[in-house]
């Protein structure tokens, strides 16, 4: 629609998928391990209904456009546009999603890593439609963060998604708006998997449950334990031991993770920001989201106390 | 439009209800909210054609050939016009005629109109535009105003220098020697766009006598009418303009846009023609705020007394002058700020380049100079080790002080009161940013911080500007008021061309008639060129000027009604008052219903209001009593900055402003909020990015204006020090809150980060520049 309004596209016809039965809903498949989101499910629906099963996707959905856009826009439309700035993309990468596509004669599953083939170009064949997107239900803390020079309704200058898959002992990442396509920060994932190796061994039942938004809210006390300082201030004070970070990762490791994420990006200078700013911002986002995710892990490891600790295992939260 | 007494309740005096000083409801409020309001883009007429403009893709090129034959051959196309087809003057303009209606042999900015097409459908017209063959010889654009101001650039009018304004007051050279401390800095400002939501649009309808009617959104019907008539080669009485719904203007609808093109197409085809720019075209279809480079040097005593101010201000006007000649003058008049300083040297340059044309925008040059001087004042405060507010209070201008132009400040100048209110206003709580809703933090819904990296800053700025047209212009506004009886009740009609551009002049016209005549029902006919001029809704002048005209016309109507009553009742008119439906004696006793007095007759009078005369400044030293009046506002900005990501949340914007008289308090609050937010946009996000003469972000996707999540709470204090020269003591309201908003935020960002931040708007990368490679 945007291209039509800008006069850049004059398609011979338009196909309205919004009335196709069942397309606007989601379901759990694979014994509750995977969420299958129909191509017609709106961002609003994802925010309202998938906050626990797909917390990072729900967070990304919250940052898309305005309420009107979220009521109409879908992950499938986001994917088919294949913009490097599509807000769902970093999360789909971080979660190892699969795209279910179908043509008149065949259906296939495309791994998200194979989906984005160039700027605004995807692996979709001209006669294929997206039917659904499959995303593993969260099995550990997830984060999505997006930078724009305005506090809402803005295209990302840079964005980052992080998925700590405790059950699978894997780390997933996704970078948006900092390359010709959405990108995965492979070296950063590897580094973090190694750094977290001993943590994965914590009791799985406790860690592998999805963490809803409530569980991700920080209490006053936790923040007090987690004093993040701006680089400049930290450098000046020379007091950056990181000793009080409530995780077994040092501040140095978090910074290394940030640096590796920044390295994985291949941004350009454009009207929305400079390449240098994007790289820098990604390193900060990666470090911060990692700290939040680790804080969530610590929270999960602590004895259950609050109401929000009564998590359901697997995907049964829905 | 009929404006009835929605707020009149039984038992209340009709005179008081919704009169001057009440927050009367806008007559256009409900229609604008429920979608029934007719904006200029909604105007239609049976059988109308659509007009579309072909624009230059190049910032500078020679046109070698235009071939319209293919376009003319397209089914549905009714005509294709180029400069050859302009019937009258081929150029038009605001101050001087210098801009081609359609490009003649060359194009001087990207987006310059080259040809226009009328067709049965807008899509056909657009396709026809693509079929017009234009052979351009691409030339290297001149885009650097610093080069243009030498006046030596080949290929630019006047060698590139449109105007140099000089103001000399006192003796800066000796004052510098006498200063204990001097500071100097360069401050730059990018190009702001008015970013109105209602795009340029209109409907031209040919009429039987060879003339044309144009329904259009504009800030000044009569100035438009003169230019349109000149270019169509028609007498004024054959060109009738009717104000259509204006979806925002901010200065950007003073210059012509669709006007001449739509009329040319309508006259050529004999059919009504609609034109509506789309959003992208709109960015090329109107003038922008001048980008600025300002060098400011200040000298002061150790105790913080300003000794001299020296400013060099460069405003790039782009390809055509529009109002650049007066924007630079206004920028210079107030370049020393609202301070008393004895020695001043100001040089202002308005340049030509191949950048997009710039012209009027809310604040009119004073926004740029206020930003510069207020940034410099904070620099001086830092150098003196003095609180920035204390430095301002110590030097604030007052009644009787002399401006750099030699004019004494008359009228109220309550700058001390304004600043004291901001000083005494408690700061918003420094709540734990991590605990709040993420929407209240820098980065908003982006989820980028839970308190990490956030620092708070507080900044102040003060602004001053002239109200009304300066420099010797004989400015007038005419209104006709007619009273007649309908259903036994008097009805007043106020007929004035003052354009309603969202500021609420229609509300005010009705409020004034209610107060002056005591009537309950006021009717406002369409605003058009059928009555003498009102002047532009610009320069924060329209309420003052229109109020003067409506009060005057109401007075003549009242005098006549009382004279008739005197004749009928055999009592002196001076013993009677007109109170709506009744003639009363001075004690309030009813003497005679107005309905009985007038019967089927009506009483109608026109009145032309003039403000006090002004004079031009002399070209050598810029001295002269150039201004009608002055208005003052100041802001305190509180910001949170994420110093690692460079993201900003403006936490609070407090405004103190003197408005003379709050004619409609809710409307005044709206003006202050709107002006403040427009300044906020200029401080942290609004910039038309222009590179090599090309606009890189002509869309609301990438030209960002503040959303509700960027707009903070805005406490305000509205002072009402009556102005001695104006109707009801009112003063202009619309522009002053736009001046100091931007520098207050810049100063707050500087306070938070310790950075110099020499350029507005401040981008995220500017705030983390020390962290970038
Ligand atoms: C004002 C505004 C703000 C926006 N803000 C954001 C933002 O913040 N973040 C963001 O990521 N995006 C944003 N967008 C872009 C857009 O809304 C999103 O990309 C959205 O996800 C598109 O989904 P849709 O269902 O509306 O797709 P449509 O717009 O209907 O379609 C987009 C493209 O996908 C194709 N398509 C749609 N569905 C399918 C399918 N099932 N199979 C194959 N192809 C398909 C269409 O043919 C078209 O080419 C914004 C758009 C607007 C207008």
**SS3 of B15-28:** CCCCCCCCCCCCCC
Q: What tokens appear for A219 in the block? A: 């209490």
What is the reported pLDDT for A33?
Answer: 96
Cis peptide leading into residue B761 (ω within 30°): yes
Out of B610, B637, B670, a domain closes at: B610
Q: Which residues line ligand 1 (CB under 6 A)?
A: A 1-2, 17, 39, 64-65, 69, 72-74, 76-78, 80-81, 86-87, 129-130, 155
- CB half-sphere exposure, A121, CA atoms < 13 A: 4
Domain residues for the domain of B643 are 412-468+629-768
Strand partners, B217: none
Neighbours of A206 (CB within 10 A): 16
Please check whether residue A120 is in contact with residue A95, taking contact to mean a CB–CB distance below 8 angstroms: no
* Helix boundaries (H) for A265-313: 275-301
Least confident of A153-157, A215-219, B39-43: A215-219
Is position B721 within any domain? Answer: yes
Strand partners, B166: B347
Measured between beta carbons, the chain A residues lying within 8 angstroms of B452 are 228-230, 288
Q: pLDDT class for B773, splitting at 50, 70, 90? A: confident
What is the maximal distance between C-alpha atoms in chain B? 91
Dist CA B404 CA B740 (whole Å): 20
Q: How many helices (H) and strands (E) does chain A have?
A: 14, 10
**How are beta strands B106-107 and B603-610 bridged, if at all?**
unpaired
Strand partners, A144: A161
Residue of A nearest to B681 (CA): A150
Please check whether residue B391 is in contact with residue B380, taking contact to mean a CB–CB distance below 8 angstroms: yes
pLDDT tens profile A270-281: 999 999 999 999
- CB half-sphere exposure, B307, CA atoms < 13 A: 20
Dist CA B619 CA B164 (whole Å): 9
> Mean pLDDT over residues B617-623, rounded?
96
Measured between beta carbons, the chain B residues lying within 8 angstroms of A62 are 445, 447
Considering the domain architecture, whether residues B488 and B603 belong to the same structural domain is answered as yes
What is the reported pLDDT for A247?
Answer: 54
Query: Is the pLDDT at B243 greater than 80, yes or no?
Result: yes
Closest CA to B265 of B49, B47, B43: B49
Please name the member of A7, A149, A233 whose beta carbon is closest to the beta carbon of B685.
A149
Please check whether residue A193 is in contact with residue A164, taking contact to mean a CB–CB distance below 8 angstroms: no
DSSP category for residue A12: S
Q: How many degrees, rounded to 5, is the angle at CA B694 between CA B693 and CA B697?
A: 140
Query: Is the pLDDT at B552 greater than 80, yes or no?
Result: yes
pLDDT tens profile A285-304: 999 999 999 998 888 776 54
Dist CA B289 CA B194 (whole Å): 7
Residue of B nearest to A148 (CA): B443
Q: pLDDT class for B430, splitting at 50, 70, 90? A: confident
Considering the domain architecture, whether residues B447 and B481 belong to the same structural domain is answered as no
Least confident of A301-305, B344-348, B378-382: A301-305
What is the reported pLDDT for A250?
Answer: 85
Instruction: Determine phi and psi for A94, rounding to 5 degrees.
Output: -65, -25
What is the maximal distance between C-alpha atoms in chain A? 65
Question: Is B392 in a helix, a strand, or coil?
Answer: helix
Is position B699 within any domain? Answer: yes
Query: Is the pLDDT at B452 greater than 70, yes or no?
Result: yes
Q: What tokens appear for B91 in the block? A: 């150029």
pLDDT tens profile B90-117: 999 999 999 999 999 999 999 999 999 9
Please check whether residue A175 is in contact with residue A163, taking contact to mean a CB–CB distance below 8 angstroms: no
Measured between beta carbons, the chain B residues lying within 8 angstroms of A153 are 707, 709
Please check whether residue B583 is in contact with residue B565, taking contact to mean a CB–CB distance below 8 angstroms: yes
Q: Whose CA is nearest to atom 18 of ligand 1?
A: A78
For A238-273, give the DSSP string.
T----TT-SSSS-HHHHHHHHHHHHHH-----BTTB
Q: Which residues contact B217 (CB under 8 A, 6 or more apart)?
A: B39, B40, B198, B200, B201, B202, B243, B244, B245, B246, B247, B249, B253, B501
**How are beta strands B489-496 and B521-523 bridged, if at all?**
parallel
DSSP category for residue B426: P
Please report the ipTM that was assigned to this predicted complex.
0.93
Q: Are the Cβ atoms of A223 and B707 closer than 8 angstroms?
A: no
Please name the member of B126, B451, B704 whose beta carbon is closest to the beta carbon of A154.
B704
Considering the domain architecture, whether residues B740 and B661 belong to the same structural domain is answered as yes
Distance from CA of B679 to the nearest CA of A (A): 15
Is position B666 within any domain? Answer: yes
Q: What is the CATH number of the domain that holds B659?
A: 3.30.365.10
- CB half-sphere exposure, A187, CA atoms < 13 A: 10
Is position B378 within any domain? Answer: no
> Mean pLDDT over residues B1-15, rounded?
42
Please check whether residue B239 is in contact with residue B303, taking contact to mean a CB–CB distance below 8 angstroms: no
Which of left, alpha, beta for B525 (phi over 0: left; psi -120 to 50: alpha)?
Answer: beta
Helix B542-569 to helix B505-517 angle, to the nearest 10 degrees?
Answer: 30
Residues, chain B, total?
A: 773
Is position B67 within any domain? Answer: no
Closest CA to B678 of B187, B287, B193: B193
What is the reported pLDDT for B10?
Answer: 34
What is the reported pLDDT for A8?
Answer: 86
Neighbours of B526 (CB within 10 A): 12
* Number of folded domains that form chain B: 2
Query: Is the pLDDT at B754 greater than 50, yes or no?
Result: yes
* Mean confidence (pLDDT) of chain B: 96
Query: Is the pLDDT at A240 greater than 70, yes or no?
Result: no
- Ligand 1 closest atom vs CA A66: 3
Measured between beta carbons, the chain B residues lying within 8 angstroms of A3 are none
Residue of A nearest to B281 (CA): A6
Q: How many degrees, rounded to 5, is the angle at CA B57 between CA B51 and CA B59?
A: 120
Closest CA to A188 of A279, A114, A262, A120: A262
Query: Is the pLDDT at B393 greater than 90, yes or no?
Result: yes
Q: Which residue has the tokens 């190049």?
A: B58
Whole-number Cα distances in Å, B106 to B23, B113, B134, B694: 52, 11, 11, 16
What is the reported pLDDT for B434?
Answer: 59
What is the reported pLDDT for B519?
Answer: 96
Least confident of A66-75, A220-229, B483-492: A220-229
Distance from CA of B680 to the nearest CA of A (A): 11
Considering the domain architecture, whether residues B456 and B495 belong to the same structural domain is answered as no
Considering the domain architecture, whether residues B665 and B719 belong to the same structural domain is answered as yes
E runs forming strands in B647-736: 647-658, 690-691, 694-695, 716-719
Query: Is the pLDDT at A175 greater than 90, yes or no?
Result: yes
- Ligand 1 closest atom vs CA A88: 11
Considering the domain architecture, whether residues B567 and B672 belong to the same structural domain is answered as no
- CB half-sphere exposure, B473, CA atoms < 13 A: 16
Q: What tokens appear for A91 in the block? A: 């999360």
Whole-number Cα distances in Å, A86 to A74, A179, B191, B597, B672: 11, 12, 29, 73, 37
Query: Is the pLDDT at B660 greater than 50, yes or no?
Result: yes
Query: Is the pLDDT at B237 greater than 70, yes or no?
Result: yes
Measured between beta carbons, the chain B residues lying within 8 angstroms of A299 are none
Considering the domain architecture, whether residues B460 and B496 belong to the same structural domain is answered as no
Dist CA B547 CA B668 (whole Å): 15
Whole-number Cα distances in Å, B511 to B522, B532, B594: 9, 21, 20
Measured between beta carbons, the chain B residues lying within 8 angstroms of A155 are 701-702
Any idea of the CA torsion for B403, B409, B414, B415, to the nearest 10 degrees? 0
Instruction: Determine phi and psi for B480, rounding to 5 degrees.
Output: -115, 130
Question: What's the N-to-C CA distance of chain A in angstroms?
Answer: 33
Q: Which residues contact B73 (CB under 8 A, 6 or more apart)?
A: none
Q: Which residue has the tokens 């029934």?
A: B36
Q: What tokens appear for B669 in the block? A: 């609050």
Separation of CA A22 from chain center: 25
Question: Is B134 in a helix, a strand, or coil?
Answer: strand
DSSP category for residue B519: -
Dist CA B657 CA B634 (whole Å): 6
Q: Whose CA is nearest to atom 3 of ligand 1?
A: A65
What is the reported pLDDT for B438?
Answer: 87
Please check whether residue B750 is in contact with residue B757, taking contact to mean a CB–CB distance below 8 angstroms: yes
CB burial of B16-26 (b: ≥16 within 10 Å; e: otherwise) equals ebbbbbbbbeb
For B583-621, give the DSSP string.
EEETTS-EEEEHHHHHTT--EEEEEEEE-----PPPTTT
Is position B502 within any domain? Answer: yes
Q: What tokens appear for B340 in the block? A: 């008393």
Residue of B nearest to A143 (CA): B447
Q: Which residue has the tokens 């007649």?
A: B484
What is the reported pLDDT for B436?
Answer: 66
Please check whether residue A113 is in contact with residue A102, taking contact to mean a CB–CB distance below 8 angstroms: no
Out of B550, B579, B610, a domain closes at: B610
DSSP category for residue B460: E
Query: Is the pLDDT at B549 greater than 60, yes or no?
Result: yes
- CB half-sphere exposure, B556, CA atoms < 13 A: 17
Please check whether residue A285 is in contact with residue A174, taking contact to mean a CB–CB distance below 8 angstroms: no
Percent residues over pLDDT 70 in chain A: 79
Residue of A nearest to B708 (CA): A152
- Ligand 1 closest atom vs CA A130: 42
pTM of the predicted protein model: 0.94
Q: pLDDT class for B506, splitting at 50, 70, 90? A: very high
Q: Are the Cβ atoms of A152 and B443 closer than 8 angstroms?
A: no
What is the reported pLDDT for A290?
Answer: 97
Q: Are the Cβ atoms of B763 and A276 closer than 8 angstroms?
A: no
For B72-113, give the DSSP string.
HHSTTEEEEE-GGG--S-SEE-SSS--EESS--SEE-STT-E
Q: Which residue has the tokens 């060098």?
A: B295
- Ligand 1 closest atom vs CA A65: 5
Q: Which residues contact B506 (CB under 8 A, 6 or more apart)?
A: B1, B3, B26, B27, B28, B500, B524
Please name the member of B126, B432, B706 whose beta carbon is closest to the beta carbon of A7.
B126
Residue spans of the domains in chain A: they are: 2-309
Q: Which residues contact B733 (CB under 8 A, 6 or more apart)?
A: B540, B543, B631, B657, B659, B668, B671, B672
Report domain A2-309's class: alpha beta
């Amino acid at each position: 629609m945007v291209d039509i309004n800008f006069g850049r596209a004059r398609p011979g016809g338009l196909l309205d998928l919004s009335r196709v039965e069942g397309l606007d809903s989601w379901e759990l498949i694979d014994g509750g391990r995977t969420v299958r989101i129909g191509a017609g499910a709106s961002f609003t629906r994802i925010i309202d209904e998938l906050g626990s099963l797909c917390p990072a996707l729900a967070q990304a959905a919250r940052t898309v456009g305005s309420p009107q856009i979220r009521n109409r826009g879908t992950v499938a439309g986001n994917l088919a546009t294949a913009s490097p700035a599509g807000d769902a993309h970093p999360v789909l990468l971080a979660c190892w999603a699969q795209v279910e596509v179908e043509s008149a004669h065949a259906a296939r599953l495309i791994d998200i890593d194979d989906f984005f083939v160039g700027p605004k170009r995807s692996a979709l064949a001209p006669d294929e439609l997206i039917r659904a997107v499959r995303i593993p239900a969260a099995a550990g803390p997830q984060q999505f963060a997006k930078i724009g020079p305005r506090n809402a309704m803005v295209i990302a200058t840079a964005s980052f998604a992080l998925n700590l898959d405790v059950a699978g002992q894997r780390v997933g990442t996704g970078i948006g708006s900092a390359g010709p396509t959405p990108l995965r920060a492979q070296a950063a994932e590897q580094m973090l998997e190694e750094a977290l190796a001993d943590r994965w061994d914590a009791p799985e039942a406790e860690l592998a449950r999805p963490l809803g938004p409530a569980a991700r809210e920080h209490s006053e006390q936790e923040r007090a334990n987690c004093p993040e300082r701006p680089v400049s201030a930290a450098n000046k004070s020379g007091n950056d031991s990181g000793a009080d970070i409530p995780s077994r990762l040092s501040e140095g490791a978090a910074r290394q993770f940030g640096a590796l994420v920044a390295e994985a990006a291949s941004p350009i200078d454009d009207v929305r920001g400079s390449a240098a700013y994007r790289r820098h911002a990604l390193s900060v986002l990666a470090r911060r989201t990692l700290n939040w995710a680790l804080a969530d892990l610590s929270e999960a490891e602590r004895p259950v106390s609050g109401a929000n600790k009564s998590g359901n295992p697997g995907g049964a939260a829905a | 439009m009929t404006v009835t007494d929605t707020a009149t309740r039984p038992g209340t005096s009709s005179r008081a209800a919704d009169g001057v000083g009440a927050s009367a409801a806008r007559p256009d409020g409900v229609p604008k909210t429920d979608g029934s309001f007719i904006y200029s883009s909604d105007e239609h007429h049976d059988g109308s054609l659509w007009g579309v403009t072909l624009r230059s893709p190049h910032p500078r090129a020679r046109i070698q050939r235009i071939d319209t034959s293919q376009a003319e051959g397209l089914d549905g196309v009714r005509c294709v016009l180029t400069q050859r087809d302009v019937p009258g003057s081929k150029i038009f303009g605001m101050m001087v005629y210098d801009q081609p209606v359609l490009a003649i042999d060359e194009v001087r900015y990207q987006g310059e109109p080259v040809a226009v097409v009328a067709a049965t459908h807008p899509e056909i017209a657009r396709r026809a535009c693509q079929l017009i063959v234009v052979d351009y010889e691409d030339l290297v654009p001149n885009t650097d105003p610093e080069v243009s101001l030498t006046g030596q650039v080949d290929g630019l009018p006047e060698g590139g220098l449109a105007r140099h304004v000089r103001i000399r007051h006192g003796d800066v050279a000796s004052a510098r020697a006498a200063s204990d401390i001097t500071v100097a800095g360069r401050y730059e400002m990018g190009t702001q766009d008015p970013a109105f939501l209602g795009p340029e649009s209109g409907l031209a309808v040919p009429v039987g006598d060879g003339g044309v009617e144009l329904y259009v959104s504009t800030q000044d019907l009569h100035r438009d009418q003169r230019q349109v008539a000149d270019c169509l080669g028609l007498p004024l009485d054959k060109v009738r303009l009717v104000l259509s719904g204006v979806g925002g203007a901010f200065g950007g609808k003073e210059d012509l846009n669709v006007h001449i093109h739509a009329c040319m197409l309508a006259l050529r085809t004999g059919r009504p023609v609609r034109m509506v720019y789309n959003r992208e075209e709109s960015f090329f279809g109107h003038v922008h705020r001048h980008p600025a480079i300002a060098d400011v040097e200040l000298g002061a005593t150790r105790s913080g007394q300003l000794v001299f101010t020296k400013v060099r201000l460069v405003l790039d006007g782009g390809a055509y002058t529009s109002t650049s000649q007066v924007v630079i003058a206004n920028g210079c008049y107030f370049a020393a700020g609202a301070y008393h300083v004895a020695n001043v040297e100001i040089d202002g340059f308005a340049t030509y380049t191949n950048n997009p044309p710039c012209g009027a925008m809310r604040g009119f040059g004073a926004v740029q100079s206020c930003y510069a001087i207020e940034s410099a004042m904070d620099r001086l405060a830092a150098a003196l080790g003095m609180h920035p507010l204390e430095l301002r209070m110590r030097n604030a201008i007052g009644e009787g002080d002399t401006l750099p132009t030699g004019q004494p400040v008359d009228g109220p100048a309550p700058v001390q009161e304004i600043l004291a209110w901001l000083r005494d206003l408690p700061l918003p709580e420094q709540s734990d940013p991590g605990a709040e809703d993420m929407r209240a933090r820098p980065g908003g819904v982006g989820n980028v911080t839970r308190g990490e990296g956030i620092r708070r800053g507080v900044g102040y700025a003060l602004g001053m500007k002239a109200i009304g047209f300066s420099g010797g212009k004989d400015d007038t506004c005419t209104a006709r008021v007619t009273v007649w009886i309908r259903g036994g009740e008097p009805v007043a009609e106020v007929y004035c061309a003052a354009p309603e551009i969202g500021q609420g002049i229609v509300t005010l016209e009705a409020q004034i008639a209610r107060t002056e005549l005591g009537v309950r029902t006021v009717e406002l006919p369409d605003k058009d060129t059928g009555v003498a001029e009102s002047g532009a809704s610009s320069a924060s002048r329209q309420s003052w000027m229109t109020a003067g005209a409506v009060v005057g016309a109401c007075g003549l109507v009242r005098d006549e009604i009382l004279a008739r009553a005197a004749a009928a009742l055999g009592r002196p008119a001076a013993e009677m008052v007109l109170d709506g439906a009744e003639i009363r004696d001075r004690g309030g006793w009813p003497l005679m219903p107005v309905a009985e007095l007038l019967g089927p007759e009506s009483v109608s009078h026109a009145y032309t209001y003039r403000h006090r005369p002004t004079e031009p400044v002399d070209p050598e030293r810029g001295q002269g009593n150039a201004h009608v009046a002055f208005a003052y506002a100041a802001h305190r900005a509180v910001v949170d900055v994420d110093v690692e990501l460079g993201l900003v949340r403006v936490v609070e914007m407090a405004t103190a402003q003197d408005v003379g008289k709050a004619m409609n308090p809710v409307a005044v609050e709206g003006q202050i909020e709107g002006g403040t937010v427009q300044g906020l946009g200029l401080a942290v996000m609004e910039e038309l990015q222009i590179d090599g003469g090309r606009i890189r972000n002509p869309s609301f996707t990438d030209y960002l204006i503040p959303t509700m999540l960027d707009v903070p709470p805005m406490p305000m204090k509205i002072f009402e020090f009556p102005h001695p020269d104006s109707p009801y003591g009112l003063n202009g309201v619309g522009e002053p809150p736009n001046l100091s908003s931007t520098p207050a935020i810049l100063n707050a960002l500087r306070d938070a980060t310790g950075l110099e931040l020499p350029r507005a708007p401040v981008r995220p990368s500017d705030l983390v520049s020390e962290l970038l490679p």
